[in-house]
Amino acid sequence: MSSREIEKTMEKLRAEIRRHDDLYFRKAEPEITDPEYDRLKRELADLEARYPELVPDDTPTRRVGDDRLEAFETYRHRQPMQSLDNTYSEEELREFYRRLVRLFGREDLAFVVEPKIDGVAVSLTFERGRFVRAVTRGNGIEGDDITRNVKTIHGLPHRLPGGRFPEIIEIRGEIFIGNDEFERINREREEQGLALYANPRNLTAGTVKLLDPKEVGRRRLRIVLHGLGYCEPRFFERLSDFHETLAGWKLPGVDRYKVANGIDEVWAAVEELDQLRHGFAYATDGAVVKLDSLSRQEEAGSTAKAPRWAIAYKFSAEQAETVVEGIFLQVGRTGTLTPVAALRPVKLAGTTVSRATLHNRDEIQRKDVRVGDTVVVEKAGDIIPAVVEVVLEKRSDKSRPWPFPGHCPECESEVIRLPGEVAIRCPNLSCPAQVRRRLRHYASRQCMDIEGLGEAVVDQLVERGLVERIPDLYDLTREQLMTLDKFAEKASENLVRAIEESKGRELWRLIHGLGIQHIGATASRDLAASFNDLDRIANASEEELLAVEGIGEITARSIAAYFSEKQNRELVEALRERGVHTRDAVAAEKRDGPLSGKTFVLTGTLPSLTRQEASDTIEAAGGRVTGSVSKKTDYVLAGEEAGSKLDKARKLGVAILDEKGFRELLGRT
Ligand code: IVH
């Protein structure tokens, strides 16, 4: 390769890695498995080692990812949160050990070997024994303040017992969601026609960044603590002391750690962990080996990205070979076509696997997966299988690339690809597959909450032609329902009643239930709070929609596009004719008050009001509280230790109030 070509290859790898970093850290929607990601990084690192002159400063191999989002306060870690070097090879683990032996000039080094938890990194700060803050890793230097969400975790004491603790201590850990809870949430989402989370880690990453702690509380987050950040004054001699002390403080530590002397004991402990790990509540993808002595850790120091005193040995993901017996398309609620591989059933990490997602057209072309191919499958986060690669040596001469169909498998409509989107879609709104998904979504708990209208019932209603559009639900009679399988008189009556009751649901539920692209529960609430009338939303211009706090360009465009379609306006009209409420009576009253029309953002700690009290006061006076500062914000109510939101308010010239000013404002108006 010429140096120009090498440079190009490296740039391509860097772009690819950055894209996957963004998918993983910010969007919590990775497209590839961790081992695949590690392979990309390894490939880049190898090239960089050979051509150091071609390495820019900002290469992703030297930086940790970034999870920060606009809606959260950022907080600077007292001590940076670093990443770990990782390896899949025993030889490299031994090399890590030899480096430290050379550095300290002695063989008898003690290490702690503990599980590597596949969760979402968090740093907890305790001041004088009180839990004060939880922050994500962010870019390693500063992260998002997720304290309110972390406080929903059961079993995390807010005050350490006993009287012996450091003034200030940052404790590092991982937040995770157990497999049972993951399955429960996905089952619920499936019933509701929502996209499924690929694995517990993605679900966890999405959950810690939800804006509504109540919603977070509905998903059982858990936590396990493994590391020590800033600590003042010095409190521990060894990492093993720290682990020991966690238990005394009633904090959830790792399931098992072992002190190992010398590399052979280290290796034995690593292998033992590989055996034990399936019994832990969290997913483990490796072992972390750390120097036990904290003063030696300090002496060893770290590189820009990772400490020299620790390494992660990653267990190889369990892989299996099997044959692709077919490839089919799944049609989503908005018409997205997802290719799925039907596999010859194969045992993998304890379960039988017979399907794997192929994500989208680009992905299936990139991997060139064909029917009849032998493929290697792997479990990402030990849950959902993915096709890693095709075993080309086993490919038949007769095989042909899989042609992505030009037509929807359900309704034969010609498929389309919207500019700027990866997804291929079926544009036919009456496509039975879409109709089924839309109805399930409309009836789901997060929307109109129609009890008894589950998947099986919806499928039958559509199949028998009893329901084609959402309003048809309201015309169903008891007699019609009694013709369905397993539907006796009682069930039919109950369902008719549940459908009738749904007419009076809050406006945001109706908006959400329409299934407008990009409009989830939060945007629906924002729209309902701001317009309180579906007609006004339907008639709003893109600019008017954009003026709503929380509504960005993509959502505004999507809403405007939805209501520009005649059939969608007719649908709303048909719902109204059948008695579905398109306004909120209660909200209209609540909105009148001295602060009505004013938007507030809260930041920092107020001297006498809690956050909840401040929000309640604002809302009772007709105002609104939102998460992030923008030009549309009227006031930022700032307390002590206010962070980035205050800076942003200053930059944008938004009025800033302290508690006294806030009380004055209330009194004056
Ligand atoms: S120690 C200075 N120990 O894995 C960095 N990290 O891939 C020390 N992780 O950033 C990290 N389990 O978020 C450590 N037992 C464990 C861990 C662990 C999971 C995470 C952590 C780290 C990432 C690196």
Confidence of residue 190 (pLDDT cuts 50, 70, 90): low
pLDDT at residue 384, rounded to an integer: 65
Query: Rounded to an integer, what distance in angstroms lies between the CA atom of residue 104 and that of residue 461?
Result: 73
Question: What tokens appear for 54 in the block?
Answer: 């071609």
Mean pLDDT, residues 370-397 taken together: 86
Q: Report the 10 Å Cβ neighbour count for 619.
A: 17
Q: Which atom of ligand 1 is nearest to the CA of 116?
A: 12
Q: What is the mean pLDDT of the chain?
A: 89
More confident residue, 61 or 537: 537
Domain architecture of the chain: domains with CATH: 3-62 (1.10.287.610), 74-314 (3.30.470.30), 318-394 (2.40.50.140), 432-585 (1.10.150.20), 591-668 (3.40.50.10190)
- pLDDT(96) > 90: yes
- Out of 8, 12, 41, 116, the active site residue is 116
Q: Pairing between strand 284-291 and 110-117? A: antiparallel
Mutate to test the pocket of ligand 1, among 124, 135, 239, 288 (most ligand atoms within 8 A of CB): 288
- For a pLDDT cut of 90, what percent of the chain falls above it? 55
In this structure, of 126-140, 189-203, 205-219, 652-666, the range with the lowest mean pLDDT score is 189-203
Mean pLDDT, residues 251-263 taken together: 94
Q: Pairing between strand 655-657 and 310-314? A: unpaired
Mean pLDDT, residues 88-107 taken together: 94
Question: What tokens appear for 211 in the block?
Answer: 């804006």
What residue owns the CA closest to ligand 1's atom 1? 227
- pLDDT tens for each residue of 128-151: 999 999 999 999 999 999 999 999
Q: What angle do CA 345, 348, 351 make, to 5 degrees?
A: 75
pLDDT at residue 134, rounded to an integer: 96
- pLDDT(33) > 60: yes
pLDDT at residue 591, rounded to an integer: 60
Distance 644 CA to ligand 1 centre (A): 26
pLDDT at residue 551, rounded to an integer: 82
pLDDT at residue 350, rounded to an integer: 67
Mean pLDDT, residues 632-661 taken together: 90
Which residue type sits at 656? Answer: I
pLDDT at residue 288, rounded to an integer: 98
pLDDT at residue 476, rounded to an integer: 96
Query: Rounded to an integer, what distance in angstroms lies between the CA atom of residue 369 and that of residue 387?
Result: 9
Question: What tokens appear for 349 in the block?
Answer: 């990490």
- pLDDT(453) > 60: yes
Query: Rounded to an integer, what distance in angstroms lies between the CA atom of residue 26 and that of residue 29?
Result: 8
What residue owns the CA closest to ligand 1's atom 23? 83
- For a pLDDT cut of 70, what percent of the chain falls above it? 96
Give yes or no for a contact between 264 and 93, defined as CB atoms under 8 angstroms apart. no
- pLDDT tens for each residue of 350-360: 678 899 888 88
pLDDT at residue 126, rounded to an integer: 96
pLDDT at residue 588, rounded to an integer: 45
Residues present in the chain in total: 669
Distance 84 CA to ligand 1 centre (A): 6
Distance of CA 329 to the CA centre of its chain: 25
Ligand 1 residue neighbourhood (C-beta within 6 Å) = 82-84, 114-117, 121, 174, 226-227, 288, 307, 310, 312
- pLDDT(622) > 70: yes
Query: Rounded to an integer, what distance in angstroms lies between the CA atom of residue 64 and that of residue 141?
Result: 10
What are the φ and ψ backbone dihedral angles of 389, each rounded to 5 degrees?
-165, 165
pLDDT at residue 590, rounded to an integer: 55
Which residue type sits at 392? Answer: L
How far lies 150's CA from each of 219, 225, 246, 632, in Å?
12, 13, 18, 29
What residue owns the CA closest to ligand 1's atom 17? 116
Active site residue 116: yes
Three-class secondary structure assignment of 495-511: HHHHHHHHHHCCHHHHH
